[in-house]
């Protein structure tokens, strides 16, 4: 399987092996996201972790120069953390626990640089000292907000949602949601829409 990218910025997957008109890639960068033919986020997570890890060097230099902790924290939240959260609703729901912990390790290292006395503390205590939320919680909040915006008729992505359920039917149910909840045997290749319909809908 390979990716086919055309000049109009559309991306499609091709399963045929021989086509002289197509250029096949095992992975490529598309609008800042690193996609691979295995439909995983391994390359993307490794890339953003590597980039953010290199930026910690500048945080160390600022700390050695005597910059106050609050300004160091502002540098982290303004420069380094956005790298770890770019387009997170696209990939948040499908990364592994190990990948999520890999991302959190960068934030933990950043706080250790800013507040050196936090070394040896548990991660929840580290977050408490820095007054930060975990990256996982922030991604979940971003994804929920993104889905709520999709539910607005004015959204350009609203057409991706299924038609709303019949109110006369759902009014007789004990627990109901305005949009149907899809079911699948596996969550590995689940789309964001299906994930959000199951997790972010509020019962009527």
155 phi, psi to nearest 5 deg: -70, 140
C-alpha dihedral, 32 to 196 to 187 to 94, nearest 10°: 30
Give the integer Cα–Cα distance in Å for 73 and 110: 8
Structure confidence at residue 191 (pLDDT) = 85
Burial of 176 (0-12, 13-18, 19+ CB in 10 A): middle
- The whole-model pTM stands at 0.80
10-residue mean pLDDT profile of the chain (204 residues): values are 51 53 70 83 94 96 96 97 95 93 97 95 96 96 94 92 79 74 72 89 73
Structure token pair of residue 59 = 């945080």
Bridge partner residues of 36 (DSSP): 27
* pLDDT at residue 109, rounded to an integer: 97
List helix spans (H) across the chain: 42-64, 69-75, 81-85, 88-91, 97-114, 123-130, 135-150, 167-170, 192-199
Residue-range domain boundaries for the chain:
1-39, 40-150, 153-199
> 57, 76 in Cβ contact below 8 A?
no
């Amino acid at each position: 399987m390979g990716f086919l990218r055309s000049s109009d910025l559309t991306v499609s997957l091709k399963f045929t092996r021989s086509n002289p008109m197509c250029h096949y890639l095992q992975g490529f960068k598309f609008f800042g996201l690193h996609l691979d033919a295995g439909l995983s986020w391994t390359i993307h997570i490794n890339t953003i972790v590597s980039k953010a890890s290199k930026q910690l060097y500048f945080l160390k230099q600022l700390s050695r120069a005597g910059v106050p902790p609050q300004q160091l924290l502002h540098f982290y939240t303004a420069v380094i953390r956005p790298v770890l959260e770019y387009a997170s609703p696209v990939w948040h729901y499908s990364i592994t626990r190990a990948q999520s912990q890999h991302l959190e390790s960068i934030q933990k290292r950043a706080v250790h640089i800013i507040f050196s006395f936090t070394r040896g503390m548990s991660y929840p205590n580290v977050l408490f000292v820095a007054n930060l939320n975990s990256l996982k919680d922030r991604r979940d909040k971003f994804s929920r907000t993104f889905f709520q915006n999709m539910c607005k008729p004015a959204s350009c992505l609203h057409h991706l949602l299924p038609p709303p359920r019949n109110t006369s039917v759902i009014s007789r149910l004990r627990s109901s949601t305005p949009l149907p909840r899809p079911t699948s045997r596996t969550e590995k290749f689940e789309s964001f829409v299906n994930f959000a319909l199951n997790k972010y809908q509020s019962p009527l």
